[in-house]
Amino acid sequence: MPPTENTSSAPGTTSTSGTPAIEFKDVEKRFGKTTVLKDLNFTVAPGERVTLIGPSGSGKTTILRLVMTLEELTGGFIFVDGKPLTHTEKNGKRVELPSKTTRAMTTRIGMVFQQFNLFPNMTVLENIIEAPVHVLGKPKAEAVKEAKSLLEKVGLGEKADEHPTRLSGGQQQRVAIARALAMSPEILLLDEVTSALDPELVGDVLGVLRDIAETTDITMLLVTHEMQFAREVSHRVMMFDGGQVLEEGPPDQIFNNPQHERTRTFLSSVQ
Amino acid sequence: MIWNWEFAAEALPILLRGFVNTLIATVIGTLIAVVLGLIIAVAIRSLPRWINWLIRLLVAFVRNTPLVMQLMFVYFIFAGIPGLVDVPALVIGFIVIGIHYSTYMSESYRAGIDSVPPGQHEAATALSLPPVRKFTAIVLPQALRATVPSLGNYAVAMFKDTPFLFAISVVELVTSAQQFGAAKFAYTEAFTLAGLIFLAASYPTSLLIQRMEKRLATY
Amino acid sequence: MTDNFTTLLNFLPQLWEGIQTTLILTVAGAIGTIIIAIVLGLAMTSLHAWMRIPARIIVEFFRGTSLLVQLFWLFYVFPLLGVDLDPILCGIGALALNYGAYSAEVVRSSIKTVDKGQWEGAIALSLSPTRRMVRVIFPQAWALMVPSLATLLIQLLKGTAVVSFITLQDLTEKIDQLRQSTNDTYFAFTIGLIIYFVIAWLIQEGMNFLERRATAKLGRRRPNSRADRRVARRDARADKNSDPGSTSVAGPNAGNVGYGGPL
């Protein structure tokens, strides 16, 4: 059940009717004196799955981290569902939103990390129900029930009471995916989720993600080195270089017929 | 007025005289601890098991019992032996404080020696270096990198423990402050100044050790 | 020698009083230490400079000015300021402030040692800052700080002996009285030191238990546990290539001594 819009929309455009799920407006990100992103503008439509590719240091991970508010936005605005995420414009001035407002916004966003970042002091189940119970205020019994069905879905139904540190990397990552999904996010950010895994464990994790892509209409923003996977699941691929979008389009176009020499060099170096 | 500058001015030279004893106790105590700590660490590594167990018991005993009581203990022992009655309390002070801290420092040496990669031992053995040479030329110099900052921290800790010599009436900084305070009823000035002198001496030293630690951490 | 034991027997009630005083000072001092350590330690990890800087100044002040100065300040100077504290409160206060400042640094560095990914995981789940600290970061930092806190707690126990300087009848003071009545320095002080040693040993065992529990909660085995050391010794005997570095685990503050029972 692929999302209705965008699957075959014209390359490079996301201008569909309705509000974009994510909008970057004049985004700038500096770390000290180095500028990582500059004047970045793009939108992601609801239900769209976008893969960010590019050489390391091109700012792709920073984009995900900005959406998750893990990095401070040093310039411009990010909108989620048309609402400002961290900063807004007031009387022509850029002002920071109260952290509570921002946190209310981030509940719609989930993220899966390269290093899993499961909490070792909680069991697998506790990891998954922590936020639904204490952030969304769900009744515990309901959260547990949902967590268990999510664990079934990622193939770890029997691991609910284990400590994360006793699981393999691939299992930990699948728990992390379940944990993110337990918040029923509208947007899921996947930051090189298979990079820390042994090669033989990558398949399981990608399988779970493929399943999510096929059965839900969650908006996804991915950074990955698994080009085959990117080609299968994404509607659009954006090639970054030096903090700028070098080119973008449907996966077939980017992978088979890249316009830029740099894209070609990059693709041949990773494939 | 709680604070009297005249008292403060009067107290300062007296306190500084007491501070000389504080410094003597710290410096000689540190020397004793640095040497004895190394001897203990090496002894525990190289002596047979039963005696090494005994040393460790002694070390644990000294480390886990109060310095104040140890000072009194040795002080009264010396007082009871005719030939030793005249040993100044300050000497007893730096010996006991030195032994006390040697138990801590031996632990720093042990950790430092353990941090030398096994490959270094193996390489030295491969070169057929005699054990003593292997230890003094290969292991110890590398171990000291990790050990020296920790020894420094203990020296500062020892410095701040020298007021415990009050227990055996050594007129060091705090004792002299207490005596001055009692004589002039000027406790505020005396103890505040004593505290500030401690702070002025220990804080920069700690910062220096921190910097040294960072520098030594990178080869 | 039998005389000594008769004297000791008659002295037992007094000795017990001294032990009680020492224990009260240790326990109350430890509670104060933990409270001060957590408040100042958390403040030092704050993003706000107005919390971080004052906390840092307080910590450096009380670490730098020596326990005895603080004790005498409370005992001699406070009455001049119109605050008359009971000597035992002076003792507890000075111990809590001094060791609290040291422990605050342990709390701070342990929190800083917790993997950055844990903070990010918590932010990604939109946990509130309080929940983040209480439920995610602190439990992990706790496992790191227990060994160093154990060392400091034993130092606090040893530090209680200074209260004999401000008229309190603690264990050290009672032992000195025993020395006077038996006229046997060796006898009296050996007993005194052994009692302190036993209390320190009990504290160490208690803290080892807390540490085992904290690391078990993280799904890990305690590094350098007794079982680990046994295995390491066996490996070392069987195979000289075993890596001794892996069993030496330093706490977050390297200046402190490693843990493990007194033996």
- Taking alpha carbons only, the member of C110, C106, C214 closest to residue C152 is C106
Sign of the CA dihedral A172, A189, A9, A261? Answer: negative
Higher pLDDT, C2 or A71: A71
End-to-end CA distance of chain A: 29
Domain locations along chain A: 119-184
Nearest-CA distance A72 → chain C (Å): 13
Q: Provide the residue count of chain B.
A: 219
Nearest to C162 among B56, B76, B164 (CB): B164
For B52, nearest residue in chain C (alpha carbons): C263
Name every chain A residue with its beta carbon within 8 A of the beta carbon of C117: 113, 115-117
Distance of CA B125 to the CA centre of its chain: 35
Beta strands A22-31 and A34-44, pairing class? antiparallel
- Which residues span the domain enclosing B177? 5-217
Tokens (6 digits) for A132 = 């639904």
A93-96/A87-90 β-pairing: antiparallel
Q: What tens digit of pLDDT does each residue of C62-116 get? A: 999 999 999 999 999 998 888 888 999 999 999 999 999 999 999 999 999 999 9
pLDDT band at A13 (very low <50, low <70, confident <90, very high): very low
Task: Give the N- to C-terminal CA distance of chain B in Å, as an integer.
Answer: 55
Closest residue to B195, CB basis, from C73, C201, C262:
C73
Q: Enumerate the residues of chain A whose CB falls inside 8 A of the CB of residue C136.
A: 119, 121
Amino acid (1-letter code) at residue C101: A
| Secondary structure letter of residue A98 according to DSSP | P
Note the helical H segments in B47-63.
49-63
Burial A35-74 (b: 16+ CB within 10 A, else e): bbbbebebbbbbbbbbbbbbeeebbbbbbbbbbbbbbebe
Task: Select from C162, C201, C245 the Cβ nearest to the Cβ of B117.
Answer: C245
Task: Look at residue C245 in the predicted model and tell me its pLDDT.
Answer: 36
Chain B residue numbers touching C258 (CB-CB < 8 A): 107, 111
Does residue C118 sit at the A interface (CB-CB below 8 Å)? yes
The answer to whether C179 and B180 are in contact (CB under 8 A) is no
Could A131 and C128 be called an inter-chain contact, meaning their C-beta atoms sit closer than 8 Å?
no
H helix count then E strand count, chain C:
11, 0
**How far apart, in whole angstroms, are the C-alpha atoms of residue A43 and residue A23?**
4
The answer to whether B163 contacts C67, with C-beta atoms less than 8 Å apart, is yes
Interhelix angle for C49-64 vs C2-44, to 10°? 160
- What pLDDT score does C1 carry? 59
Domain parsing of chain C, residue ranges? 2-241
pLDDT tens track for A224-249: 988 999 999 999 999 998 888 999 99
- Would you say residue A45 has pLDDT above 90? yes
3-state secondary structure (DSSP) of residue C206? helix
Cβ contacts of A70 on chain C, cutoff 8 Å: 120, 123-124
Q: Please give the Cα distance from A195 to A193 (Å, whole number).
A: 6
Distance CA A212, CA A112 (A): 13
- Residue closest to B88 by CA, chosen among B4, B201, B172, B2: B172
Report which of A73, A90, A85, A81 is spatially closest to residue A27, judged by C-alpha positions.
Answer: A73
Residue pair B113/B143 in contact by the 8 Å Cβ criterion = yes
CATH topology of domain C2-241: MetI-like fold (1.10.3720)
CA distance B16 to C195: 37
Judged against a pLDDT cut of 50, whether residue C247 lies above it is answered with: no
State the amino acid at position C150 in one-letter form: A
The enclosing domain of B39 has a CATH number of 1.10.3720.10
Residue among B61, B80, B153 whose CB faces C255 most closely: B153
* Partner residue facing A120 (CB), from C124, C126, C218: C218
Is residue A165 predicted with pLDDT exceeding 50? yes
A89-116: per-residue pLDDT in tens?
A: 998 899 999 999 999 999 999 999 999 9
Taking 70 as the pLDDT cut, the residues of chain B under it are 1, 218-219
Strands A49-53, A236-241: parallel, antiparallel or unpaired by DSSP?
A: parallel
CA end-to-end distance (rounded Å), chain C: 30
| Mutation target among A62, A70, A102, A117 for the C interface, most CBs of C within 10 A | A117
- Count how many domains chain B has: 1
Asked if C175 has any chain B CB less than 8 Å from its own CB, the reply is yes
Q: A138 to chain C, minimum CA–CA distance in Å? A: 14
Compute the average pLDDT of residues C200-204: 96
Output phi, psi for C142, to 5 deg.
-55, -45
CB C200, CB B69: distance < 8 Å: no
Greater model confidence, C235 or B98: B98
pLDDT in tens, A14-27: 445 589 999 999 99
Residue C224 is predicted with a pLDDT of 56
Alpha-carbon gap, residue C107 to C40, rounded angstroms: 9
CB contact under 8 A, C158 and B196: no
Q: Check if A111 contacts C (Cβ < 8 Å).
A: yes
Average pLDDT, chain A: 90
Q: Which residues pair with A89 in a beta bridge?
A: A94
Shortest CA gap B66–chain C (Å): 4
Mutation pick from B57, B69, B76 vs chain C, by most beta carbons of C within 10 Å, is B69
Euclidean distance between CA atoms A199 and B176, whole angstroms? 71
Inter-chain residue contact C262 with B150, CB threshold 8 Å: no
User: Is C227's Cβ below 8 Å from some Cβ in A?
Assistant: no
pLDDT in tens, A77-92: 999 999 999 999 998 8
Position C9 pLDDT exceeds 60: yes
- Residues of C with CB below 8 A from B2's CB? 80-81
- A152/A125 Cα distance (integer angstroms): 12
Q: What is the pLDDT of residue C242?
A: 35
Helix ranges, chain A (H) = 60-67, 99-106, 124-134, 140-153, 169-181, 199-215, 227-233, 251-256, 261-270
Contact C117 A180 (CB under 8 A): no
pLDDT tier, C236 (very low <50, low <70, confident <90, very high otherwise): low
Judge contact between C68 and B67, C-beta under 8 A: no
A69 touches chain C (CB under 8 A): yes
- Rounded (5°) CA angle A181-A184-A185: 85
C243 touches chain B (CB under 8 A): yes
> C70 to chain B: which residues are within 8 Å by CB?
195
Q: How far apart are CA C176 and CA B69, in angstroms?
A: 9
Q: Which chains touch A (3 or more CB pairs under 8 A)?
A: C
CA dihedral C107, C109, C112, C114 (to 10 degrees): -70
Please determine, for residue C249, whether its predicted confidence score (pLDDT) is greater than 50: no
CA atoms within 13 A on the CB side of C135: 22
Q: Which of A201, A195, A215, A104 has its CA nearest to residue A156?
A: A201
CB atoms within 10 A of CB C206: 12
Spatial CA neighbour of B168 closest among B97, B93, B100: B93
Residue A105 near residue A135 (C-beta atoms within 8 A): no
Closest-CA distance of chain C to residue B90, Å: 18
- Residues of chain B found within 8 Å of residue C153, distances taken between Cβ atoms: none
